[in-house]
Structure 1
Amino acid sequence: PEYLDASLESWRDLAKQLLELFQSSTGMNRGELEAEIEDVAVSHPARIVVQGLAKVLEDRCEFEVSADHEPDEIREKAFLLAAQVRRAGTFDRTHVLQTVATSLGLTLEAVEQGLFADLKSEQRVKNFEDISVTRLIERYNVGMAQAILLRATGITVTLRNETPARFRRLFRAAKFHRLVVDVEQPSPGATVLRLDGPMSLFTATQKYGMQLALFLPWILHSKQFELRADVLWGAQKKEKLFVLTNQDGLVSPVTDTSSYVPPELQMFADLFRKKYPEWQLEEETDVLPLGRGFWVPDFRLTHQLFNRPVYLEVLGFWRRGAVEKHLKNLRQHAKVPFVLAVSDQFKIDDTELNDFPAEIHRFRQMPLPDEVARLAHEALAGQPNPG
């Protein structure tokens, strides 16, 4: 793709023109906003860029249905009454709408406005989350790369000289987005991530592709990386290679300080801390070796009577194929005490977990604090205390 240079005045002028349009868009409906965007597009040689920048800005808008009464009820009354007067041969639109307005206790203007207010083109801008010209162009560039990844069959990301904290956030983000990731360290200082693309799955899913695209901003925080994606491009799905590196200068739209914690796990963590204050439960866990790759458990638990942590790995938010691969790696390579919490949604048979090197907890909606505390204590009780 041809990324926009945020320092070029021509692109900055275009971005500023569209930004000013959206900054003054509160109260406009979608139809009016789209007409304004079209006026800009027809007079600019790079129509596709106008549309792309406008899409970024539109995603920052909050739209609402602006009506004093439910539009579907207004329509129902208006259409029924209109049908009646047509049969009588005395149809008068204004009279019909005024009759409806009187029956609903509304003004004629409110009925006119509310008749089709729930149509997408009639939704009105309630709020717009402002952005700078530079950040708008940067977000557009990232969006182009994300769009390409929606067509990927396989992705390889090579990272070099990253810190453990950076790896931890990256791996947790991958898990949160339910991605299938294999991790290897072929040489000191180099780490390779291999991810399935949405077009490689038995059923290519748009949802998985979106998760993959949302993961890209976390890769962009890496100091030195190379992303190579095999993609099926165009209507004929021709095989293409997409390459993205830190040299391309894409700027991530997300901060690199937060950690993803799904709502179900956050609820578990809050309940666990409240009920078991003798345990210290931490989301920022260690990056642990696992065969040729790494492993980042969901939580680290440390009891006040022990000097050694026990880890909690939750399998509840991944695809089944990823779970089977991860279980195999844990069985073969995990060297630390841990509790494995397995969601019933995977329908994993007990025989698959026979002789598994961990305490097992099955759950439905979220892990149960009582069971996790009991199993964590059992996992540590059988371990030598280094202190």
Structure 2
Amino acid sequence: VREEYRVSNRMLPSELLLHRYNGEAIVPKRLPINTGNIAIATDLIQLFQAAKGGTRGELNRQLQELEGEDTDYRIKRGLAHLLNGDAFSTFETISPLDPGDLRQRVFALSAQVSPSSQSTQSTLQKLADILTQELEREILPEQVRQGLYADLSENQILTNFEAPSPEALLHRYNLSQVQGVFYRASHVTLNAHRNDPGEYKLLFRYVKLFGLMTYIEGDADHGFTLTIDGPTSLFKLNTHYGLKLAMLLPALLHVTRWDLTATLQRKDAYSGKVQSGRFTLNSDCGLVTHYPPGKTYDSMLEAGFVDRWAKAKTEWQLEREVDLIPIPGSVMIPDFRLVHPDGRTFLLEIVGYWRPEYLKKKFAQVRQAGRDDLILAISERLNLEKAGVNFNDTSARLVWFKDQLSPKAVLSVLEDA
């Protein structure tokens, strides 16, 4: 899951968030996609493009010059902060040797001679000659000098820059401004109305990926309500958890119809007292996601099964993730649905993941579901005993497999149903 949904999550720090209050409601600042803002974004993107091959320190100095005395410096700084993220910029430490090892060797050689500017150059030359022999490529004294502190942030080199369009950068900025609202959320109530089941599954996976404390109610026919605890609901304010909650918003934008209400905790600027705030948002918000829509299959195991099923001679049709099984406080999404022309249907879940925590959770879900139309395909390589689970103690029908799941084994269970 983490590999499939690995995304860039750089957001704006609190000092670059811009918002106003309308009573208890917070209103984040959004930049219109107009000529003026496109020009600002274009200037910044071009600056980063020209800075390729230079140091981060030099880039930061150029950014400060671009800010100048303009009143919109926080907007420029916010856009630059996003461009500095790993979605667009790659900074690397360029040194002939690990800078820490390089410093140690320079200092060791320097201790052998009396200090002087000439001896410093001599030391650099001597080490360059040694490294040339060791690394079997020419190393110059200047490379040694530059590499000594190449691991400092300001000395890192911008080696690659994937330039976004000015419009894409502005959309990312607007999204980040809204994400910042959730840094201080005590809880969020999210209504995901009736949508395509695949959209639900993508949303629930991101909820799991970010480790959010969520209670889920509803079903695929009517929609789901997710109650998500926020960072200020914890015993101690947890900004890291707030960032995780903010990271869910781009995933939510893949869902067609939804609305949410967030309860916020904020300090009054004058009294210092904690006050409650409110924020609402829905699927007509106009925000644009940068998260990928998700892969077709979760694993090679599933993809291989689909390929083999397509070659099998059977009337049973294999459908991908079209059913969701509500269980108390959560939801189970079987991998496939099997449909026969005569109207019979079965759900198929492939259990091939080995971690004990996953197996315990899956076992609990299957028991809570209590479905007799559920087929579990379980890898014989799993250590179920170590995980303390026994899938025989469920109403599900079982299929066992080793390296790959055979359609024949599944069809055998269907014939006996």
TM band (smaller chain): 0.7 to 0.9
Aligned to 1:285: 321
Distance 2:105 2:393 in 1: 68
Q: Is the 8 A contact 1:272 1:369 kept in 2?
A: no
Provide closer, same or farther for how the CA distance between residues 56 and 334 of structure 1 changes in structure 2, counting only shifts above 3 A. Answer: farther
Which shows bigger deviation, 28-37 or 185-194? 185-194
User: Aligned Cα RMSD in Å?
Assistant: 4.5
Aligned-partner residue type, residue 167 of structure 1: Y
CA positional deviation for 1:140: 0.9
Provide closer, same or farther for how the CA distance between residues 82 and 74 of structure 1 changes in structure 2, counting only shifts above 3 A. Answer: same
Aligned-partner residue type, residue 94 of structure 1: Q
1:35 and 2:68 are equivalent in the alignment = no
Aligned-partner residue type, residue 99 of structure 2: P
Q: Secondary structure at the match of 2:112?
A: helix
Task: String of CA shifts for 1:170-189, please: whole Å, max 9, x gaps.
Answer: 34444555545443349985
CA positional deviation for 1:90: 5.0
Provide closer, same or farther for how the CA distance between residues 324 and 166 of structure 1 changes in structure 2, counting only shifts above 3 A. Answer: closer
Aligned-partner residue type, residue 388 of structure 2: D
1:133 and 2:166 are equivalent in the alignment = yes
Q: Secondary structure at the match of 1:248?
A: coil
Q: How many residues align?
A: 372
1:78 and 2:111 are equivalent in the alignment = no
1:349 and 2:388 are equivalent in the alignment = yes
Report 1:209-228 matches (<5 A): 209-228=242-261
Identity %: 24
Provide closer, same or farther for how the CA distance between residues 236 and 45 of structure 1 changes in structure 2, counting only shifts above 3 A. Answer: same
Task: String of CA shifts for 1:90-115, please: whole Å, max 9, x gaps.
Answer: 56432322232233232222212222
Distance 1:206 1:373 in 2: 48
CA positional deviation for 1:137: 0.9
Distance 1:193 1:152 in 2: 15
CA positional deviation for 1:61: 0.6
Report 1:141-180 matches (<5 A): 141-177=174-210, 179-180=212-213
Q: Secondary structure at the match of 1:137?
A: helix
Which shows bigger deviation, 135-144 or 172-181? 172-181
Q: Is the 8 A contact 2:218 2:224 kept in 1?
A: yes
Task: Determine which of 30, 34, 41 is the counterpart of 1:15.
Answer: 41
Provide closer, same or farther for how the CA distance between residues 13 and 201 of structure 1 changes in structure 2, counting only shifts above 3 A. Answer: same
Aligned-partner residue type, residue 45 of structure 1: T
Q: Could you tell me which runs of 5 or more consecutive residues in structure 1 were left unpaired when the two chains were aligned.
A: none
Q: Is the 8 A contact 1:300 1:312 kept in 2?
A: yes
Task: Determine which of 295, 299, 302 is the counterpart of 1:269.
Answer: 302
Q: Could you tell me which runs of 5 or more consecutive residues in structure 2 were left unpaired when the two chains were aligned.
A: 1-18, 20-27, 133-138
Distance 2:154 2:405 in 1: 52
CA positional deviation for 1:128: 1.1
CA positional deviation for 1:53: 0.9
Distance 1:177 1:340 in 2: 27
Provide closer, same or farther for how the CA distance between residues 242 and 315 of structure 1 changes in structure 2, counting only shifts above 3 A. Answer: farther
Task: String of CA shifts for 1:64-99, please: whole Å, max 9, x gaps.
Answer: 2223444333222211122333xx455643232223
Distance 2:154 2:384 in 1: 40
Q: Is the 8 A contact 2:327 2:368 kept in 1?
A: no
Task: Determine which of 196, 218, 230 is the counterpart of 2:263.
Answer: 230
Report 1:87-98 matches (<5 A): 88=114, 90=116, 92-98=119-125
Which shows bigger deviation, 120-129 or 147-156? 147-156
Q: Is the 8 A contact 1:320 1:346 kept in 2?
A: no
Q: Secondary structure at the match of 1:312?
A: strand
Aligned to 1:124: 157
Q: Is the 8 A contact 1:178 1:211 kept in 2?
A: yes
Distance 2:264 2:307 in 1: 48
Task: Determine which of 83, 86, 90 is the counterpart of 1:62.
Answer: 90
Q: Secondary structure at the match of 1:287?
A: coil
Provide closer, same or farther for how the CA distance between residues 245 and 121 of structure 1 changes in structure 2, counting only shifts above 3 A. Answer: same
